[in-house]
Structure 1
Protein backbone atom coordinates (compact mmCIF):
# COMPACT_ATOMS: atom_id res chain seq x y z
CA UNK A 1 0.00 0.00 0.00
CA UNK A 2 1.08 3.51 -0.79
CA UNK A 3 1.37 6.20 1.83
CA UNK A 4 -1.37 8.74 1.28
CA UNK A 5 -0.31 12.29 0.46
CA UNK A 6 -2.41 15.46 0.61
CA UNK A 7 -3.71 14.97 -2.94
CA UNK A 8 -4.85 11.41 -2.17
CA UNK A 9 -6.60 12.61 0.98
CA UNK A 10 -8.28 15.45 -0.93
CA UNK A 11 -9.51 13.02 -3.57
CA UNK A 12 -10.85 10.61 -0.93
CA UNK A 13 -12.66 13.43 0.87
CA UNK A 14 -14.17 14.66 -2.41
CA UNK A 15 -15.25 11.15 -3.39
CA UNK A 16 -16.93 10.68 -0.01
CA UNK A 17 -18.85 13.88 -0.58
CA UNK A 18 -20.00 12.99 -4.12
CA UNK A 19 -18.67 9.93 -5.92
CA UNK A 20 -20.80 10.74 -8.98
CA UNK A 21 -18.61 13.70 -9.98
CA UNK A 22 -17.05 13.47 -13.40
CA UNK A 23 -13.29 13.03 -13.56
CA UNK A 24 -13.04 16.61 -14.89
CA UNK A 25 -14.98 18.04 -11.92
CA UNK A 26 -13.10 15.89 -9.43
CA UNK A 27 -9.74 16.95 -10.86
CA UNK A 28 -10.68 20.64 -10.73
CA UNK A 29 -11.88 20.35 -7.14
CA UNK A 30 -8.69 18.49 -6.13
CA UNK A 31 -6.46 20.98 -8.02
CA UNK A 32 -4.84 18.29 -10.20
CA UNK A 33 -4.92 17.46 -13.90
CA UNK A 34 -7.63 15.08 -15.15
CA UNK A 35 -4.96 12.48 -16.05
CA UNK A 36 -3.45 12.65 -12.55
CA UNK A 37 -6.91 12.44 -11.02
CA UNK A 38 -7.85 9.37 -13.05
CA UNK A 39 -4.57 7.62 -12.24
CA UNK A 40 -4.77 8.44 -8.53
CA UNK A 41 -8.41 7.37 -8.14
CA UNK A 42 -7.69 4.09 -9.96
CA UNK A 43 -4.77 3.43 -7.58
CA UNK A 44 -6.89 4.26 -4.52
CA UNK A 45 -9.57 1.85 -5.72
CA UNK A 46 -7.05 -0.87 -6.65
CA UNK A 47 -5.34 -0.58 -3.25
CA UNK A 48 -8.65 -0.91 -1.39
CA UNK A 49 -9.04 2.62 -0.02
CA UNK A 50 -12.34 2.90 -1.90
CA UNK A 51 -14.48 -0.14 -1.16
CA UNK A 52 -17.34 0.75 -3.51
CA UNK A 53 -19.30 3.68 -4.85
CA UNK A 54 -22.96 3.80 -3.87
CA UNK A 55 -25.98 6.08 -4.01
CA UNK A 56 -27.36 7.25 -0.67
CA UNK A 57 -31.13 7.22 -0.91
CA UNK A 58 -33.55 9.63 0.77
CA UNK A 59 -35.56 7.41 3.14
CA UNK A 60 -38.39 9.96 3.45
CA UNK A 61 -38.97 9.72 -0.33
CA UNK A 62 -39.31 5.92 -0.24
CA UNK A 63 -42.13 5.71 2.30
CA UNK A 64 -42.14 5.05 6.01
CA UNK A 65 -39.17 3.38 7.58
CA UNK A 66 -38.68 2.23 11.12
CA UNK A 67 -35.09 2.48 12.35
CA UNK A 68 -33.97 0.71 15.49
CA UNK A 69 -30.70 0.42 17.38
CA UNK A 70 -30.69 -3.08 18.83
CA UNK A 71 -28.42 -4.48 21.53
CA UNK A 72 -28.05 -8.26 21.47
CA UNK A 73 -26.51 -10.35 24.24
CA UNK A 74 -25.79 -14.04 23.69
CA UNK A 75 -25.75 -16.79 26.32
CA UNK A 76 -22.56 -18.36 25.02
CA UNK A 77 -19.79 -16.09 23.69
CA UNK A 78 -17.45 -18.68 22.21
CA UNK A 79 -15.94 -17.66 18.89
CA UNK A 80 -18.13 -20.11 16.97
CA UNK A 81 -21.32 -18.76 18.64
CA UNK A 82 -20.39 -15.14 17.99
CA UNK A 83 -19.55 -15.92 14.37
CA UNK A 84 -22.76 -17.89 13.83
CA UNK A 85 -24.93 -15.01 15.06
CA UNK A 86 -22.89 -12.45 13.14
CA UNK A 87 -23.26 -14.38 9.89
CA UNK A 88 -27.04 -14.61 10.31
CA UNK A 89 -27.30 -10.90 11.18
CA UNK A 90 -25.25 -9.63 8.24
CA UNK A 91 -27.20 -11.88 5.84
CA UNK A 92 -30.54 -10.35 6.90
CA UNK A 93 -31.74 -7.54 4.61
CA UNK A 94 -33.21 -5.62 7.58
CA UNK A 95 -29.83 -5.31 9.28
CA UNK A 96 -28.08 -2.24 7.86
CA UNK A 97 -25.08 -2.31 10.19
CA UNK A 98 -23.70 -4.95 12.56
CA UNK A 99 -21.06 -4.29 15.20
CA UNK A 100 -19.49 -6.75 17.61
CA UNK A 101 -18.87 -4.72 20.77
CA UNK A 102 -17.31 -5.18 24.17
CA UNK A 103 -18.17 -4.15 27.69
CA UNK A 104 -21.92 -4.57 27.40
CA UNK A 105 -23.95 -6.43 24.81
CA UNK A 106 -22.22 -8.71 22.33
CA UNK A 107 -23.65 -6.96 19.25
CA UNK A 108 -25.21 -3.66 18.30
CA UNK A 109 -27.32 -3.71 15.15
CA UNK A 110 -28.76 -0.84 13.15
CA UNK A 111 -32.01 -2.12 11.71
CA UNK A 112 -34.11 -0.49 9.00
CA UNK A 113 -37.51 -1.95 8.13
CA UNK A 114 -40.81 -0.68 6.72
CA UNK A 115 -42.89 -0.86 9.89
CA UNK A 116 -43.42 -2.61 13.23
CA UNK A 117 -44.80 -5.74 11.54
CA UNK A 118 -41.58 -6.05 9.53
CA UNK A 119 -39.57 -5.47 12.71
CA UNK A 120 -41.47 -8.27 14.45
CA UNK A 121 -40.65 -10.60 11.55
CA UNK A 122 -36.97 -9.69 11.90
CA UNK A 123 -37.17 -10.37 15.66
CA UNK A 124 -38.61 -13.80 14.94
CA UNK A 125 -35.93 -14.61 12.33
CA UNK A 126 -32.89 -13.38 14.24
CA UNK A 127 -33.67 -13.48 17.93
CA UNK A 128 -36.64 -15.67 18.88
CA UNK A 129 -35.53 -18.69 16.84
CA UNK A 130 -31.96 -18.51 18.18
CA UNK A 131 -31.70 -20.35 21.50
CA UNK A 132 -28.35 -18.62 22.14
CA UNK A 133 -29.87 -15.10 22.22
CA UNK A 134 -30.26 -14.20 25.89
CA UNK A 135 -31.32 -10.55 25.75
CA UNK A 136 -32.46 -8.04 23.13
CA UNK A 137 -32.91 -4.35 23.86
CA UNK A 138 -34.32 -2.16 21.09
CA UNK A 139 -34.29 1.62 20.78
CA UNK A 140 -36.54 3.09 18.09
CA UNK A 141 -35.51 6.26 16.33
CA UNK A 142 -37.96 9.15 16.52
CA UNK A 143 -35.71 11.60 14.67
CA UNK A 144 -32.49 11.31 12.71
CA UNK A 145 -30.49 14.36 13.73
CA UNK A 146 -27.34 13.36 11.85
CA UNK A 147 -26.38 10.70 9.36
CA UNK A 148 -22.98 10.49 7.74
CA UNK A 149 -20.92 7.84 6.03
CA UNK A 150 -17.81 10.02 5.88
CA UNK A 151 -14.56 8.80 7.43
CA UNK A 152 -12.08 11.52 8.42
CA UNK A 153 -9.17 11.55 5.98
Structure 2
Protein backbone atom coordinates (compact mmCIF):
# COMPACT_ATOMS: atom_id res chain seq x y z
CA UNK A 1 0.00 0.00 0.00
CA UNK A 2 1.12 3.49 -0.74
CA UNK A 3 2.26 5.68 2.10
CA UNK A 4 1.00 9.24 2.44
CA UNK A 5 3.40 11.66 0.83
CA UNK A 6 4.11 15.14 2.09
CA UNK A 7 1.78 17.68 0.57
CA UNK A 8 3.06 19.04 -2.69
CA UNK A 9 2.57 22.60 -3.78
CA UNK A 10 -0.82 22.54 -5.46
CA UNK A 11 -2.31 25.85 -6.51
CA UNK A 12 -5.95 26.75 -7.06
CA UNK A 13 -5.76 25.70 -10.72
CA UNK A 14 -4.42 22.26 -9.76
CA UNK A 15 -7.16 21.80 -7.17
CA UNK A 16 -9.86 22.88 -9.63
CA UNK A 17 -8.53 20.43 -12.22
CA UNK A 18 -8.49 17.62 -9.62
CA UNK A 19 -12.09 18.34 -8.60
CA UNK A 20 -13.21 17.92 -12.21
CA UNK A 21 -11.12 14.80 -12.84
CA UNK A 22 -12.41 13.12 -9.67
CA UNK A 23 -15.97 13.43 -10.99
CA UNK A 24 -15.15 12.40 -14.56
CA UNK A 25 -11.64 11.65 -15.79
CA UNK A 26 -12.87 11.60 -19.40
CA UNK A 27 -13.64 15.34 -19.55
CA UNK A 28 -11.63 16.76 -22.46
CA UNK A 29 -8.73 18.98 -21.42
CA UNK A 30 -10.17 21.79 -23.55
CA UNK A 31 -13.36 21.78 -21.43
CA UNK A 32 -11.36 21.57 -18.20
CA UNK A 33 -9.34 24.55 -19.37
CA UNK A 34 -12.47 26.55 -20.13
CA UNK A 35 -13.86 25.70 -16.71
CA UNK A 36 -10.74 26.67 -14.75
CA UNK A 37 -9.42 29.50 -16.94
CA UNK A 38 -6.40 27.80 -18.53
CA UNK A 39 -5.46 26.67 -22.02
CA UNK A 40 -5.75 22.98 -22.91
CA UNK A 41 -1.93 22.62 -23.15
CA UNK A 42 -1.55 24.19 -19.68
CA UNK A 43 -4.11 21.73 -18.30
CA UNK A 44 -2.27 18.86 -20.00
CA UNK A 45 1.07 19.91 -18.44
CA UNK A 46 -0.48 20.20 -14.99
CA UNK A 47 -2.18 16.80 -15.24
CA UNK A 48 1.07 15.20 -16.42
CA UNK A 49 3.00 16.80 -13.52
CA UNK A 50 0.41 15.63 -10.98
CA UNK A 51 0.57 12.11 -12.44
CA UNK A 52 4.37 12.10 -12.27
CA UNK A 53 4.32 13.45 -8.69
CA UNK A 54 1.84 10.76 -7.61
CA UNK A 55 -0.99 13.19 -6.81
CA UNK A 56 -3.08 11.41 -9.45
CA UNK A 57 -2.54 7.77 -8.54
CA UNK A 58 -4.56 6.30 -11.42
CA UNK A 59 -7.46 6.90 -13.76
CA UNK A 60 -10.00 4.11 -13.64
CA UNK A 61 -13.60 3.19 -14.36
CA UNK A 62 -15.59 2.80 -11.13
CA UNK A 63 -17.85 -0.23 -11.45
CA UNK A 64 -21.11 -1.12 -9.77
CA UNK A 65 -20.22 -4.47 -8.14
CA UNK A 66 -23.66 -6.03 -8.58
CA UNK A 67 -23.47 -5.72 -12.35
CA UNK A 68 -20.26 -7.78 -12.45
CA UNK A 69 -21.50 -10.56 -10.18
CA UNK A 70 -20.26 -9.21 -6.83
CA UNK A 71 -23.41 -7.95 -5.10
CA UNK A 72 -22.29 -8.67 -1.54
CA UNK A 73 -20.14 -6.15 0.34
CA UNK A 74 -18.49 -7.44 3.51
CA UNK A 75 -16.68 -5.37 6.12
CA UNK A 76 -14.34 -7.45 8.25
CA UNK A 77 -12.38 -6.52 11.36
CA UNK A 78 -9.26 -8.64 11.78
CA UNK A 79 -7.24 -8.95 15.00
CA UNK A 80 -3.75 -10.46 14.94
CA UNK A 81 -2.01 -12.48 17.63
CA UNK A 82 1.27 -10.61 17.10
CA UNK A 83 2.54 -7.68 15.03
CA UNK A 84 6.21 -8.33 15.70
CA UNK A 85 9.02 -9.85 13.66
CA UNK A 86 7.70 -8.95 10.23
CA UNK A 87 4.41 -10.74 10.88
CA UNK A 88 2.44 -7.64 10.04
CA UNK A 89 4.12 -7.41 6.64
CA UNK A 90 3.28 -11.06 5.94
CA UNK A 91 -0.40 -10.41 6.64
CA UNK A 92 -0.38 -7.23 4.56
CA UNK A 93 1.19 -9.10 1.65
CA UNK A 94 -1.44 -11.83 1.88
CA UNK A 95 -4.27 -9.29 1.97
CA UNK A 96 -2.78 -7.41 -1.00
CA UNK A 97 -2.90 -10.60 -3.06
CA UNK A 98 -6.53 -11.41 -2.24
CA UNK A 99 -8.65 -10.27 -5.18
CA UNK A 100 -11.80 -10.27 -3.04
CA UNK A 101 -10.39 -7.51 -0.84
CA UNK A 102 -11.25 -4.17 -2.40
CA UNK A 103 -9.83 -2.05 0.44
CA UNK A 104 -7.49 -2.85 3.32
CA UNK A 105 -6.69 -0.53 6.22
CA UNK A 106 -4.10 -1.19 8.92
CA UNK A 107 -5.64 0.63 11.90
CA UNK A 108 -5.04 1.52 15.53
CA UNK A 109 -7.01 0.09 18.45
CA UNK A 110 -8.10 -3.44 19.30
CA UNK A 111 -8.63 -4.32 15.66
CA UNK A 112 -5.54 -4.45 13.44
CA UNK A 113 -7.16 -4.41 9.99
CA UNK A 114 -10.42 -3.27 8.47
CA UNK A 115 -11.15 -5.00 5.17
CA UNK A 116 -13.78 -4.24 2.56
CA UNK A 117 -14.51 -7.31 0.45
CA UNK A 118 -16.71 -7.81 -2.58
CA UNK A 119 -18.03 -11.33 -3.13
CA UNK A 120 -20.73 -13.09 -5.11
CA UNK A 121 -22.39 -14.77 -2.12
CA UNK A 122 -21.85 -16.06 1.41
CA UNK A 123 -20.36 -19.33 0.14
CA UNK A 124 -17.60 -17.36 -1.56
CA UNK A 125 -17.04 -15.32 1.60
CA UNK A 126 -16.82 -18.52 3.64
CA UNK A 127 -14.12 -19.79 1.27
CA UNK A 128 -12.26 -16.50 1.71
CA UNK A 129 -12.41 -16.82 5.50
CA UNK A 130 -11.05 -20.36 5.31
CA UNK A 131 -8.17 -19.26 3.10
CA UNK A 132 -7.25 -15.92 4.69
CA UNK A 133 -8.35 -16.11 8.31
CA UNK A 134 -8.57 -19.73 9.44
CA UNK A 135 -5.57 -20.58 7.28
CA UNK A 136 -3.34 -18.04 9.02
CA UNK A 137 -2.07 -18.92 12.50
CA UNK A 138 -1.44 -15.22 13.24
CA UNK A 139 -5.13 -14.29 12.97
CA UNK A 140 -6.55 -14.20 16.51
CA UNK A 141 -10.11 -13.44 15.45
CA UNK A 142 -12.20 -11.66 12.88
CA UNK A 143 -15.62 -10.06 12.93
CA UNK A 144 -17.86 -9.79 9.88
CA UNK A 145 -20.39 -7.12 8.95
CA UNK A 146 -22.58 -7.68 5.90
CA UNK A 147 -23.64 -4.47 4.16
CA UNK A 148 -27.37 -4.36 3.63
CA UNK A 149 -27.01 -1.35 1.33
CA UNK A 150 -24.09 0.48 -0.26
CA UNK A 151 -25.48 3.81 0.91
CA UNK A 152 -22.42 5.87 -0.01
CA UNK A 153 -19.24 4.81 -1.74
CA UNK A 154 -16.86 7.25 -3.31
CA UNK A 155 -13.36 7.48 -4.61
CA UNK A 156 -13.33 11.28 -4.33
CA UNK A 157 -11.04 13.11 -1.92
CA UNK A 158 -12.60 16.22 -0.38
CA UNK A 159 -10.38 19.06 -1.61
Q: TM-score, normalised by structure 2?
A: 0.91
Moved more, 25-34 or 122-131: 25-34
2:11 paired residue among 5, 8, 12? 5
In the alignment, the residues of structure 1 paired with residue 8 and residue 104 of structure 2 have an alpha-carbon distance, to the nearest angstrom, of 29
- 1:99 equivalent to 2:122? Answer no
- 1:143 equivalent to 2:149? Answer yes
Deviations 1:82-105 (A, max 9, x none): 111111011100000111111121
**1:145 Cα shift?**
1.0
Match of 2:38 in 1: 32
2:28 paired residue among 22, 28, 37? 22
Deviations 1:53-93 (A, max 9, x none): 00001223334521111000011121511111111011100
How large is the RMSD of aligned CA atoms in angstroms? Answer: 1.4
Other structure's SS at 1:78 match: coil
Other structure's SS at 1:49 match: coil
Q: Provide structure 2 residue ranges, at least 5 long, that are not aligned to the other structure.
A: 1-6
Cα gap change, 1:79 to 1:37, in 2 (>3 Å): farther
Other structure's SS at 1:51 match: coil
Q: Provide structure 1 residue ranges, at least 5 long, that are not aligned to the other structure.
A: none
